[in-house]
């Protein structure tokens, strides 16, 4: 065994951590997110005890719907990363393709991906756990559309940052959606959150979507206010995300970073 | 007088304190092949990137095919194309799939006959159904060149088009580019570090150094102006900081 050779393997990565905030953050990101998520789930279960009806329905439903948001986001961000990894980005931007057309192309692929993933997960949930997500009825449609749109928003924010700061920011493609998961009320209601996080949750479309879903499952009533809030916030954030993409595209063109994937 | 397809006036690009391209003005005529030469860091890549709207200039104006860039970006880019040895095509698509995808990106319905003709022209027809990642560097360059002709461009931007080709294929590619130019009035702006190629292929060359044009003219004129035997000697002189051509050339 040669210590120098072993240190060579490790130091190759230490150098990266020394100057990459996204890589450094990743070390702490997942443990913190896991702790928050499972901590609030534990608190919730402790609070409701055995009073929670349809426990399986709540969790499996939440998981399947969360996956819709995540696949939608991945459909945008990972597809974009594939263009970077294959060094094809430049070919796209020297073609007459408009930035808006580029985004719409990514969005259409994301719809295909989430539909494929949702088909598999809902079928498996029905086969393995006798859980039928379609029990939610027609109300499922507007909420699922909202989840997909929120996924697009997170995806567009991710690719805007990767475009500007290069591949070292690509960890966001896997992490950014999970940043909002603890405050999205996926597995527990917003009311379980401490005041500060509650305020953040109320400014995020997904919390209204999952609260709306929970309302249908628990009481059978459709929450119009939840849907309207989710739709309004989604429209607002999607608009901001698209503006960010155009702004960052302009910055990389001014700085001449497109060929280098955003890095200076 | 030949129609000018590229008109560049006072083009400048600054990156903070660095002036990458400094007040450059030049024109490219219809059917002309213009070579862009210069040492690393001379500003060639930045210049081409500005002409392709990948980099926004600090000042100056660009007109391509009579249209102003960036205002008419879409109309301009639909009529030009680009090939570089250093820019890859998606490796997990087959050669044919790549050409179909890029036809669509240029707003064209994929034309099987045309795609087959381009593959045959660049002697890669037998690779049509192979994955792009399995191609050799030379084959990739030929695929990139085939891709660059999909939209029948009026102007072709080529970044070191023959850098990875063997002498035989490089020679064939040069002949092909000249033939396409002669048939269809295609204009070509190319960079290369192959000085022999730059003596043979372009009608005119522009030599850049530190973002400025230090010489321009036919390859023979430039060689004569520097009082050298060939372009390689001229290049070495410029790269080593001895940039003064004769008074005639400067005028």
| Domains along the sequence of chain B with CATH | 1-74+155-163+187-251 (3.40.50.300), 80-152 (no CATH)
Model confidence at A52, pLDDT cuts 50, 70, 90, reads: low
Cβ-Cβ contacts under 8 Å, B46 against chain A: 256
Buried b (16+ CB within 10 A) or exposed e, B85-113: bebbbbbebbbbbbbbbbbebbeeeeeee
Does B89 contact A91 at a Cβ distance shorter than 8 Å? Answer: yes
Mean pLDDT within A132-151: 88
Asked if B21 and B211 count as a contact pair (C-beta separation under 8 A), the reply is yes
| Residues 6 or more apart in contact with residue A223 via CB below 8 angstroms | A211, A212, A215, A216
Distance from CA of A247 to the nearest CA of B (A): 13
Asked if B173 and B162 count as a contact pair (C-beta separation under 8 A), the reply is yes
Nearest to A226 by CA among A210, A213, A208, A203: A208
Beta bridge partners of B217: B205
Interfacial residues of A (vs B; Cβ cutoff 8 Å): 83, 86-88, 90-98, 250, 253-256, 258-259
Does B88 contact A87 at a Cβ distance shorter than 8 Å? Answer: yes
Q: In this predicted model, what pLDDT tens digit does every residue of B57-89 receive, in sequence order?
A: 999 999 999 999 999 999 999 999 999 887 889
- Rounded Cα gap, residues B161 and B140, in angstroms: 11
Question: Considering the entire predicted model, what is its pTM?
Answer: 0.89
Nearest to A151 by CA among A195, A121, A181: A181
Query: Quick one: CA dihedral B146, B150, B153, B159, positive or negative?
Result: negative
Asked if A133 and A217 count as a contact pair (C-beta separation under 8 A), the reply is no
Mean pLDDT within A184-196: 92
Does B77 contact A250 at a Cβ distance shorter than 8 Å? Answer: no
Does A258 contact B87 at a Cβ distance shorter than 8 Å? Answer: no
The domain spans of chain A are 57-260
Model confidence at A264, pLDDT cuts 50, 70, 90, reads: very low
Q: In this predicted model, what pLDDT tens digit does every residue of B179-189 receive, in sequence order?
A: 888 877 799 99
Token pair, residue A27, equals 């070390």
- Pinpoint the alpha helices (H) of B163-230: 167-184, 195-200, 219-225
Here the ipTM equals: 0.88
Cis peptide before B228 (omega within 30 of 0): no
Tell me what pLDDT residue A263 has: 44
- Rounded Cα gap, residues B241 and A248, in angstroms: 37
**Residue ranges for chain B with pLDDT beneath 70:** 1, 243-251
């Amino acid at each position: 065994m040669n210590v120098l050779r072993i240190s060579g393997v490790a130091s190759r990565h230490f150098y990266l951590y020394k100057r990459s905030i996204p890589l450094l953050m990743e070390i702490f990101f997942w443990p913190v997110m896991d702790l928050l998520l499972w901590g609030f789930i534990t608190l919730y279960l402790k609070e409701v005890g055995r009073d929670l009806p349809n426990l399986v329905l709540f969790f499996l439903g939440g998981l399947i719907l969360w996956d819709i948001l995540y696949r939608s986001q991945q459909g945008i961000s990972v597809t974009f990363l594939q263009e970077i990894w294959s060094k094809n980005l430049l070919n796209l931007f020297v073609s007459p393709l408009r930035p808006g057309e580029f985004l719409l192309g990514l969005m259409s692929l994301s719809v295909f991906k989430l539909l494929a993933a949702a088909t598999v997960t809902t079928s498996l949930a029905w086969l393995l756990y006798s859980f039928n997500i379609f029990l939610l009825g027609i109300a499922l449609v507007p909420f699922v559309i909202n989840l997909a749109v929120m996924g697009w928003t997170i995806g567009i924010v991710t690719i805007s940052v990767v475009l500007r700061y290069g591949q070292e920011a690509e960890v966001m493609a896997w992490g950014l959606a999970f940043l909002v998961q603890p405050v999205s009320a996926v597995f527990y209601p917003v009311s379980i959150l401490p005041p500060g996080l509650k305020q953040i949750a109320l400014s995020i479309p997904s919390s209204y979507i999952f609260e709306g879903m929970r309302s249908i499952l628990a009481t059978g009533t459709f929450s119009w206010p939840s849907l309207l809030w989710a739709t309004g916030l989604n429209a607002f954030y999607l608009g901001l995300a698209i503006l960010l993409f155009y702004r960052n595209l302009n910055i990389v063109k001014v700085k001449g970073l497109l060929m280098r994937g955003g890095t200076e | 007088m030949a129609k000018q397809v590229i008109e560049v006036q006072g083009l400048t690009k600054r990156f903070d304190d660095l002036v990458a391209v400094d007040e450059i003005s030049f024109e490219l005529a219809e059917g002309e092949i213009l070579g862009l030469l210069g040492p690393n860091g001379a500003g060639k890549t930045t210049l081409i990137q500005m002409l392709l709207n990948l980099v926004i200039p600090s000042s100056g104006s660009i007109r391509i095919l009579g249209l102003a860039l960036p205002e008419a970006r879409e109309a301009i880019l639909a009529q030009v194309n680009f090939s570089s040895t250093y820019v890859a095509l998606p490796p997990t698509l087959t050669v044919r799939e790549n050409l179909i995808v890029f036809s669509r990106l240029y707003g064209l319905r994929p034309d099987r006959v045309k795609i087959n003709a381009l593959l045959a022209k660049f002697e890669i027809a037998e690779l049509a159904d192979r994955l792009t990642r399995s191609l050799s560097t030379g084959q990739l360059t030929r695929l990139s060149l085939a891709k660059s002709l999909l939209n029948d461009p009026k102007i072709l931007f080529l970044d070191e088009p023959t850098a990875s080709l063997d002498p035989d294929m490089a020679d064939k590619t040069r002949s092909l580019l000249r033939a396409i130019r002669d048939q269809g009035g295609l204009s070509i702006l190319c960079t290369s570090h192959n000085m022999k190629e730059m003596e043979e292929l372009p009608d005119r060359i522009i030599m850049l150094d530190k973002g400025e044009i230090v010489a321009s003219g036919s390859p023979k004129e430039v060689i004569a102006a520097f009082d050298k035997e060939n372009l390689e000697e001229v290049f070495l002189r410029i790269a080593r900081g001895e940039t003064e051509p004769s008074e005639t050339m400067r005028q």
